[in-house]
Structure 1
């Protein structure tokens, strides 16, 4: 296709300009050329090798590797992505982002270089209307074929075809996996500078907007390249970059894809983006970029935590709050940014509307938590910054991290804003010292037994599990560990670990506990006449070897013996009921609370079950009632379970739920409660939900940030639970002389009486503090002259035995009596017997504030003498300390400082 044709089209056609139109034009262009449109995959990839979806090709990685069937010979998509590897550049350069959209067209063994290159040129010049004079292309240094296509088929000026090295023009999705040479199209903002000496590294002149990857190799862990079975095409066009080009703005942030969020943040801060300096504009850009990212992450089920993608979300979220405070936003504002982000992106991603309540709740919860962290840590950080001329020490950075929850990255960012660095080596040394202290304090555990069984298991083949079909099975003893040592035989009384060639015992895994039962040998191998009886109390897995732990009750057991392995049927039935109940619980949570809920862990025991799940809020009592009723309804409906093995891709296509991060074989076991639940699971289950009997939720709680836990009982365990609760109710009834229905009312009455008594006691203490402080008025010292001619009134005194609220009331009362020129400082020990807690209060009149003194910073400085700190409003503030022995010195310093300032 000749360049002149493109110029003619550019003159004659109108071209897309808005972000939505650019996206639609790309997808329409390739759909018209036989590409199947694919929806954007989640930011949480079905790939344990990466935390987040970082490229448009990632959802197709199994196809490129030949591990999955291709959805079509050709596909096209607009894929949402997140990258945080260069987060420090966000807002500072024209085009670095965390969240971005990658427009892509893909060929799975269909077309290759020539069509990919010609279509990319046609799209760029005819559909988007870019002039060929503004375009430059790059090719891999060894790719003669691609260069020839650009030069001879497309007609690009050879001076505008640049060969580049592997770092720039050889693409890979990661250290391993599909890869290949690539060719990129750049937009030239300054074509008048000519074609000689083109340097594509010049970001002020060039922007790369379309990358064509010729996916033809797979790289293994050793770095070896092997040809893929099919040559593929993987392309990526940055939506934000193309929007910048077509909308004619200075950077990606000022496009209609992000700028509305910048305007929202600017309005919240009461500033004008166009009038701000570079630092202020950078903060608004960070807020705009990160707001899109955190909204999309939460929408895809990520909750803030200190691990993995949860940590990425928390870090991004806290950067938004931090930059908001730099702009003067001193109140919660993430909910407003979340609302604006949903409104901006809902047309392309309607699921954001469906998840709106979850997104906003997570933003509010995490912002509130971080504001508390900031309030505690910023005071210490301000002191550190004021006393550190060049560098924040590792010990100081670690105290901020360990005591106040300040992430190291945040400390580094704030330090950089003040022209300081952070001693990272010192921080790591402090972290290691803490690890060593924890290690020294840990309880010593004897690992001898585990070491022995590791050694034995490492030399054996995998155990054959027969427990799906039978609870009793003949087996051969392959190995023994007796009292912690490998052995050939074991006698009565010996603690043993037994490895069998095959077993009906379920080995602990997938949250389900191991079976209990017996091994019977000799005689007729019944429990009565067996010559050998080994009670089995637990079964675990060491690699793929099942280890049966128990004790020899009778006879002698030896390696090579044939035994009958018999599972305790009653225990197995209870475990099966509880395991199936956890599947029903997950299905009910998805139906009642949020379809995006995912499992974070579980425990299936004989008498209880526990299910941990990702959720940013507590499940309400009403929701718990609905969940319980729904599960008991499914139980009473007597749904039969269907258990079958199938290919992993077939299971996923059928909708089977998998645990993220779990590694599954090519063939998986699927447990299906038709119409209710379908999960990949290797555990044991009932054959019909009716076997569960009844289900009862015992408790709901939070176990970590964004992780909730439901504890429940099922089957016979419910009766034990109800009997226990009934006994408690009877005891309370006897204690309160009340019927069961009256107990709650009686307890509420007692609580209200206690609250009233505590309130009255607090009032009496405040009155006592006022009464004691009244005698202090006469000790006020007149100093200088306040505005209006009246002298300042200085009063510094000690008042022990008064809590903080009472001391504040007393100080404010004294200041009111002494007038606008009052400077009152009170300090004391709330409990004179406890010299480790000091309270200091300052109350200043308006004339003192006008003279340049503010109660907050002043009392915070005074508290340093007592090993503490604090702050508050200009007229009234409170601080605390840990050294009561220094209180008199602190009060004396306060008096001296005020005299010097007010005299």
Structure 2
């Protein structure tokens, strides 16, 4: 591995990638949810998926170029996770995309510049593949980039031709590989040799359209779709043997190992595989739950449940008997929060879901494992190698023991499972068990799909009516259709017409009541499933029946609050465009009853002055009482008039346009009739939520008074505590801060003196090597500055000497200091280079001057090894 490779953390790699393409005119967009908008795909499996409608010509792009770091999940190779160096369920795909803008020549040039200059990969260590018929790409790599013909491999369609499906846009690929062993030479190189090469960047040239007969015709607009594996690039730049030992995953593995009382480096292969599975799967489940997936026996919920259960079982294999998934999740959350802040915000939900699933599965596991062991012993005693399908089905149907888990355990015992017999047993069972482990689809959508032919789409009348007479079309309890429900039941109701707004476009669903024939239902949420509005509520009084005529009434107070906040987001976007940058566009929003949140594309934080100006401009527009005009127009006409569309939002042929004069947007939400109805607007915070994405949280209307009352209470409390007037509080706090700084300075000085005192005792440990002395030692619980003072003092007292000191105060932090005298430098040893290499042993780095340098590491468990290496190298060098 070349020493010249720069060490970059996973976060640094992600940011450098996005920054590089931002400088090349690409719009940085946030990662889409793991739950895709595309109903044909269960989970987000690739960086290009959010742009699929653009690539298929179904939607026009808002930007000619874009770049993202997209979180993805794939489970098709789940059995290889932990067993190979690079298979994962969760991974991040760094991508740059061109929508009819640049093509092959530019994409290849960008990839080469990024790889060799930004990431510093040696040119001689990169090999590329091209589609076997793509002479153009071959020539660009050879003639313009300068890659040797021996390191450009033509490969077939299975490897290097991308299709979106049987028909549609497609094109050849070119992939970049990193060579771990260039010393093996360039003759007949095999890019499929995983021991030598790792593919880290894939460039897809979408230049054709494929018809039903397989004929290819050139596309009018040619697109670029690329993907660089963040974990793979981290493996390369962090110079570790596999993706799992990068800083993206290894801290999770370490946490699991500590819980199990295991040293990963000394563990056997089977234990290391279990730790890697946990490291991978915990990342996946944390992000799935953060994106609002819940464990169940169907769809995405089943994927989540399966991953959690694999984590729990591998924990058990290592001897972990207590609940541990929430603790391991803490590490995964900490690793994710800088790039995905919403993960930290949903921490409690994530831990609660994991705790529930782990507790539930441990009960299942105990029963099922016991029975499975009996079955395995019986099969082996009979001299057979296959577990009968009936037994596997009994494990599943009676004990809720997943087939995949039975297969996995069987494989470990050298057995297989009779899948044909399992399927036959499944078909014979016509009445499903009503236990918690059954696999009947009980979702609202599943029930509605079955009833869709017999009910009408819900008519929404909520733009003009707050109350409506309606008929109950569907009544559901826990997602299952029923004819009648009684008081105390949690129900989902579909009406033929409704004034309730269903959650959409960032605006939450209305609240209110549904009543009739002596019954009252409190509605706490409304969601749209296909063409149906589903009202979620609790029957407070009476009974409900399908076909009942009812009175549906929204909570007008909540609606007014939502309207004020929603219109305020429109005004906020217009104000940001005027004050900050006209290119700003919406990247997401939340409109609740008590607050609003607006995410937007911006490469920098807003200044205090800009935030104040934006707030003042919105309040000016509110005071000017701009009336709103609503029109329904063809999409093309609406855009021609200047209506703003939200990137990523799906629009039909006709769209609803809301125009306040100072703001015109495509929007299906509910709004005030006049900006004066908002009352007042107040920005609470402005923060970064992802690379290139900023977030403003604000309140409008009555919520502003509630916010100000809370602030006033805090100020009063501070006034009482400081015995000061409100206007005197800042000065009093400044005074306390100055006192704290002075105390801290005094404490630092005492720490330095203590470190020097401790270090004096080390003088006797110095050894003489040639004409100089060397001293390599650890000073526990000493901060970096005090360590530096101690090292300098020791070197001065020893004279011509090389002093290496180290200290660690926690498992994931190590400090190193090197102090070398002039004679040591003359021997060819420089403090900066020397200590930087030593710190790498502890997963870190650093450097400095030839006579004095410092470094840091993240793995204190290897500190003893690092110091022994330093002592050995000093002896050899001197």
Check whether TM > 0.5. Answer: yes
Whether the 8 Å contact between 1:860 and 1:871 is mirrored in structure 2 is yes
Q: 2:725 aligns with which of 724, 739, 752?
A: 739
Evaluate the alpha carbon distance shift between residue 492 and residue 733 of structure 1 in structure 2; reply closer, same or farther with a 3 A threshold. same
Residue number in structure 1 paired with 2:503: 508
Residue number in structure 2 paired with 1:682: 668
Separation of aligned partners in 2, 1:883 and 1:715: 52
Residue number in structure 2 paired with 1:285: none
Q: CA RMSD in A?
A: 4.9
Evaluate the alpha carbon distance shift between residue 510 and residue 809 of structure 1 in structure 2; reply closer, same or farther with a 3 A threshold. same
Separation of aligned partners in 2, 1:219 and 1:900: 65
Whether the 8 Å contact between 2:684 and 2:696 is mirrored in structure 1 is yes
The TM-score with structure 1 as length reference comes to 0.54
Whether the 8 Å contact between 1:465 and 1:504 is mirrored in structure 2 is yes
Evaluate the alpha carbon distance shift between residue 763 and residue 540 of structure 1 in structure 2; reply closer, same or farther with a 3 A threshold. same
Give 1:244-259 correspondences, 5 Å limit: none
Evaluate the alpha carbon distance shift between residue 84 and residue 467 of structure 1 in structure 2; reply closer, same or farther with a 3 A threshold. farther
CA displacement at 1:513 relative to structure 2: 0.9
Matched, 1:845 2:836: no
Q: Secondary structure at the match of 1:743?
A: helix
Alpha-carbon displacement from aligned partner over 1:122-142 (angstroms, at most 9, x marks no partner): xxxxxxxxxxxxxxxx9xxxx
Matched, 1:899 2:854: no
CA displacement at 1:226 relative to structure 2: 13
Evaluate the alpha carbon distance shift between residue 856 and residue 720 of structure 1 in structure 2; reply closer, same or farther with a 3 A threshold. same
Give 1:501-650 correspondences, 5 Å limit: 501-522=496-517, 531-650=518-637
Evaluate the alpha carbon distance shift between residue 88 and residue 400 of structure 1 in structure 2; reply closer, same or farther with a 3 A threshold. farther
Q: 2:485 aligns with which of 462, 487, 490?
A: 490
Whether the 8 Å contact between 1:456 and 1:479 is mirrored in structure 2 is no
Whether the 8 Å contact between 2:831 and 2:851 is mirrored in structure 1 is yes
Matched, 1:854 2:830: yes
Residue number in structure 1 paired with 2:108: 87
CA displacement at 1:700 relative to structure 2: 1.1
Residue number in structure 2 paired with 1:792: 772
Whether the 8 Å contact between 1:540 and 1:548 is mirrored in structure 2 is yes
Alpha-carbon displacement from aligned partner over 1:218-272 (angstroms, at most 9, x marks no partner): 866x568899xxxx99699x9xxxxxxxxxxxxxxxxxxxxxxxxxxxxxxxxxx
Evaluate the alpha carbon distance shift between residue 561 and residue 669 of structure 1 in structure 2; reply closer, same or farther with a 3 A threshold. same
Residue number in structure 1 paired with 2:793: 813
Residue number in structure 1 paired with 2:74: none
Evaluate the alpha carbon distance shift between residue 510 and residue 765 of structure 1 in structure 2; reply closer, same or farther with a 3 A threshold. same
CA displacement at 1:854 relative to structure 2: 2.9
Residue number in structure 1 paired with 2:743: 757
CA displacement at 1:827 relative to structure 2: 3.7
Whether the 8 Å contact between 1:774 and 1:814 is mirrored in structure 2 is yes
Q: 2:783 aligns with which of 791, 795, 803?
A: 803
Alpha-carbon displacement from aligned partner over 1:21-48 (angstroms, at most 9, x marks no partner): xxxxxxxxxxxxxxxxxxxx99899xx9
Matched, 1:478 2:473: yes
Q: 1:729 aligns with which of 691, 715, 720?
A: 715
Separation of aligned partners in 1, 2:437 and 2:520: 27
Whether the 8 Å contact between 2:681 and 2:699 is mirrored in structure 1 is yes
Separation of aligned partners in 2, 1:447 and 1:746: 61
Separation of aligned partners in 1, 2:864 and 2:693: 48
Matched, 1:872 2:836: no
Whether the 8 Å contact between 2:244 and 2:279 is mirrored in structure 1 is no
Separation of aligned partners in 1, 2:111 and 2:571: 44
CA displacement at 1:507 relative to structure 2: 0.6
CA displacement at 1:825 relative to structure 2: 2.3
Separation of aligned partners in 2, 1:568 and 1:886: 62
Separation of aligned partners in 1, 2:59 and 2:774: 79
CA displacement at 1:891 relative to structure 2: 4.8
CA displacement at 1:875 relative to structure 2: 2.5
Evaluate the alpha carbon distance shift between residue 465 and residue 455 of structure 1 in structure 2; reply closer, same or farther with a 3 A threshold. same
Q: Secondary structure at the match of 1:451?
A: coil
Q: 1:451 aligns with which of 442, 446, 465?
A: 442
Evaluate the alpha carbon distance shift between residue 426 and residue 554 of structure 1 in structure 2; reply closer, same or farther with a 3 A threshold. closer
Evaluate the alpha carbon distance shift between residue 750 and residue 856 of structure 1 in structure 2; reply closer, same or farther with a 3 A threshold. same
Separation of aligned partners in 1, 2:437 and 2:642: 42
Give 1:653-692 correspondences, 5 Å limit: 653-674=640-661, 676-692=662-678
Give 1:161-310 correspondences, 5 Å limit: 222=212
| Consecutive unaligned residues in structure 1, runs of 5 or more | 1-40, 53-57, 65-77, 93-137, 139-166, 181-214, 239-292, 294-307, 323-372, 385-391, 405-424, 523-530, 785-790
Q: 1:464 aligns with which of 444, 459, 468?
A: 459
Whether the 8 Å contact between 1:515 and 1:567 is mirrored in structure 2 is yes
Evaluate the alpha carbon distance shift between residue 172 and residue 807 of structure 1 in structure 2; reply closer, same or farther with a 3 A threshold. closer
Residue number in structure 2 paired with 1:103: none
CA displacement at 1:859 relative to structure 2: 3.8
Evaluate the alpha carbon distance shift between residue 88 and residue 802 of structure 1 in structure 2; reply closer, same or farther with a 3 A threshold. same
CA displacement at 1:732 relative to structure 2: 0.3
CA displacement at 1:563 relative to structure 2: 0.8
CA displacement at 1:806 relative to structure 2: 0.9
Evaluate the alpha carbon distance shift between residue 693 and residue 772 of structure 1 in structure 2; reply closer, same or farther with a 3 A threshold. same
Q: Secondary structure at the match of 1:575?
A: helix
Evaluate the alpha carbon distance shift between residue 501 and residue 640 of structure 1 in structure 2; reply closer, same or farther with a 3 A threshold. same
Residue number in structure 2 paired with 1:277: none
Q: 1:823 aligns with which of 781, 786, 802?
A: 802
Residue number in structure 2 paired with 1:96: none
Whether the 8 Å contact between 1:518 and 1:566 is mirrored in structure 2 is yes
Separation of aligned partners in 1, 2:275 and 2:220: 43
Whether the 8 Å contact between 2:443 and 2:478 is mirrored in structure 1 is no
Q: Secondary structure at the match of 1:81?
A: coil
Q: Secondary structure at the match of 1:639?
A: coil
CA displacement at 1:566 relative to structure 2: 1.1
CA displacement at 1:709 relative to structure 2: 1.0
CA displacement at 1:850 relative to structure 2: 2.2
Q: Secondary structure at the match of 2:645?
A: coil
Q: Secondary structure at the match of 2:659?
A: strand
Separation of aligned partners in 1, 2:55 and 2:477: 50
Residue number in structure 1 paired with 2:117: none
CA displacement at 1:773 relative to structure 2: 3.3
Whether the 8 Å contact between 1:394 and 1:426 is mirrored in structure 2 is no
Q: Secondary structure at the match of 2:513?
A: strand
Whether the 8 Å contact between 1:534 and 1:552 is mirrored in structure 2 is yes
Separation of aligned partners in 1, 2:279 and 2:643: 42
CA displacement at 1:745 relative to structure 2: 1.2
Residue number in structure 1 paired with 2:638: 651
Q: Secondary structure at the match of 1:727?
A: helix
Evaluate the alpha carbon distance shift between residue 85 and residue 453 of structure 1 in structure 2; reply closer, same or farther with a 3 A threshold. farther
| Consecutive unaligned residues in structure 2, runs of 5 or more | 1-24, 30-36, 39-45, 49-53, 61-98, 114-134, 136-156, 171-206, 253-272, 287-306, 309-324, 326-353, 358-435
Whether the 8 Å contact between 1:843 and 1:877 is mirrored in structure 2 is yes
CA displacement at 1:670 relative to structure 2: 0.6
Evaluate the alpha carbon distance shift between residue 596 and residue 447 of structure 1 in structure 2; reply closer, same or farther with a 3 A threshold. farther
Separation of aligned partners in 2, 1:80 and 1:724: 51
Separation of aligned partners in 2, 1:871 and 1:567: 62
Whether the 8 Å contact between 2:493 and 2:535 is mirrored in structure 1 is yes
Separation of aligned partners in 1, 2:242 and 2:441: 43
Separation of aligned partners in 1, 2:685 and 2:553: 34
